[in-house]
Amino acid sequence: MTGKIALITGSAKGLGRRTALELASHGCDVAINYVTSRDEAERLVDEIAALGRKSYAIQADIARADDAERLVSEVEKRFGGIDILINNAGPFIRERRLFADYKAEDIHYLMNGNLVGTMLMDHRVLPGMRARQWGRIIHFGFGHAAEARSWPHRAVYAAAKVGLVSFTKTLAVEEAASGITVNMICPGDIRGDYKEKSIADVAGIMDDESPRGRPGTGEDVARMIAFLCMPESDFITGNMIDVSGGLDPIRTILKP
C-alpha cells in the first residue's frame, strides 16, 4: 500500500491511533483527525513521520456537516486525494440510559456522529475514488450489529450503527464496479488502554469475560483493517466482520 493516502477520523487516540500506525507501517501516508485531542494528534504525526511516512493532523467534528466537508477538502489539498477512508469516529455515551431519558440534542448528536456524518464523509470521497477506480472505505459497528438485535440502554447508538449496516451493504454493491470496497469492522468490548496495545502486550493476561481468554487489543482491530485495505482484498466487500474473541456484548446483559 506504499503511497496510498489514508484518512482516519477520530484517530488521535484509541483504535484510530493504532490503525493509523498500522497503515503507516504498510506504507500509507496518513491524515489524522481529532476534535479536542490536539497534543495527542501531533505526537502521532511525529510517530508516523519516524516511520518514514507523511502525516498531518486536522481538527474537525464529523457530526457537523461543515466540518466533514472541510476535513476532506483539506486532506485532498495537502495530500492530493484520499484512497482509504476509515470512519472510526463516532460518539458513544457509556452511561446506561433508557431511550425515554435521552435529551433531543443527544439523539441528534449520536445519529449525526455515527450515521449521517459517516454517510457524508463517504459521499465526499467517492468522486475521487471513482476517478482513480480504487478505494477502500471502512465503517465501524459493534459486535453482532448485522443481526439488528435489541440493545437496551443503547437505543440511539445501536439504531445508528444498524442503519450503517444496511448502508455498508448498499454502498458496497453500488461501488464494486469502480474498484471501491466497503466493509464494517465490529470490535468487541475493547476498553481503555487496550485500544492502543499490541497483541504481545496482553500475552498472559486473562479475561474471564472473553471466550478467547485474553483481552482484545487495538492491534486485533488494526490488523483486520489493514488486510481489508490491501489491493488483493478487492473481492471482500459488503461484510460485517466481528473482531471480538467470540464475546457477545449484548447477550450478556439480556435476561433469559
Domain range summary for the chain, segments of one domain joined by +: 5-253
Q: Which CATH superfamily is domain 5-253 in?
A: NAD(P)-binding Rossmann-like Domain (3.40.50.720)
pLDDT of residue 256: 45
d(CA 17, CA 119): 22
d(CA 192, CA 85): 24
3-state secondary structure of 160: helix
What is the per-residue burial (b if ≥16 Cβ within 10 Å, else e) of 22-35? bbbebebbbbbbbb
What are the pLDDT tens digits along the chain (256 aa)? 999 999 999 999 999 999 999 999 999 999 999 999 999 999 999 999 999 999 999 999 998 999 999 999 999 999 999 999 999 999 888 889 999 999 999 999 999 999 999 999 999 999 999 999 999 999 999 988 888 888 899 999 999 999 999 999 999 999 999 999 999 999 988 888 999 999 999 998 988 888 888 989 999 999 999 999 999 999 999 999 999 888 876 665 554 4
CA 171 remoteness from chain centre: 16
- Predicted TM-score of the model (pTM): 0.94
Residues in Cβ contact with 9 at an 8 Å cutoff, skipping those fewer than 6 apart: 16, 33, 62, 71, 86, 87, 88, 89, 121
The confidence score (pLDDT) of residue 248 equals 79
